[in-house]
């Protein structure tokens, strides 16, 4: 088993954006058809973008003290900033569901919630109750103005 030396807290920017056009696009809310995550360690920002074929990992040329959001967002995008407390990484995650950007984002964030579209994930996160914050180890969820 790999020992986790994760920091006491972590943060993610969850970017809801218009993804590439595909057959499901007509059923999804405009500007809520794809999810991209941005996080950081003590040295770099890390952009995690699930494409149809692979997970694209980008380390942008941005100082850790600066924000990478201007490089990876458009005016129509919606961004949530989620801060986590130290989480219990010994629990098992249920690995069922559609393999899409939302399921992937829920896995990376360690969320055990039922939703399959970016719009539903966005609404679910904004409507978390105090028990949800405790259950998932979340300190805060804030909408970010771009």
Tell whether 49 is covered by a domain.
yes
Tell whether 3 is covered by a domain.
no
Determine the pLDDT at residue 22: 63
Determine the pLDDT at residue 58: 96
Tell whether 4 is covered by a domain.
no
Determine the pLDDT at residue 127: 96
- What range does the domain containing 126 cover? 9-144
Strand partners of residue 67 = none
- Strands 138-144, 55-58: pairing is unpaired
Alpha-carbon gap, residue 139 to 136, rounded angstroms:
9
Tell whether 66 is covered by a domain.
yes
Residue that is written with structure tokens 């405009």 in the block: 30
Tell whether 1 is covered by a domain.
no
Tell whether 123 is covered by a domain.
yes
Written as tens digits, the pLDDT of the chain (146 aa) is: 444 454 557 999 999 999 766 656 667 788 999 999 999 999 999 999 998 888 999 999 999 999 999 999 999 999 999 999 977 677 665 556 678 899 999 989 988 899 999 999 999 999 999 999 998 899 999 999 98
Tell whether 59 is covered by a domain.
yes
Q: How many structural domains is the chain composed of?
A: 1
Tell whether 2 is covered by a domain.
no
């Amino acid at each position: 088993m790999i020992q986790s030396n994760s920091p006491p807290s972590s943060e993610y920017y969850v970017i809801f954006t218009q993804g590439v056009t595909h057959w499901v696009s007509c059923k999804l809310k405009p500007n809520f058809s794809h999810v991209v995550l941005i996080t950081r360690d003590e040295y770099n920002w890390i952009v995690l973008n699930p494409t149809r074929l692979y997970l694209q990992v980008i380390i942008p040329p941005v100082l850790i003290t600066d924000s990478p959001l201007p490089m990876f967002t458009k005016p129509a995008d919606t961004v949530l900033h989620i801060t986590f407390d130290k989480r219990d990484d010994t629990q098992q995650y249920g690995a069922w569901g559609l393999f899409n950007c939302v399921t992937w984002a829920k896995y990376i964030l360690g969320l055990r919630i039922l939703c399959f579209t970016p719009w539903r994930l966005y609404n679910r996160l904004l409507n978390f109750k105090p028990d949800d914050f405790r259950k998932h180890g979340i300190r805060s969820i804030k909408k970010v103005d771009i």
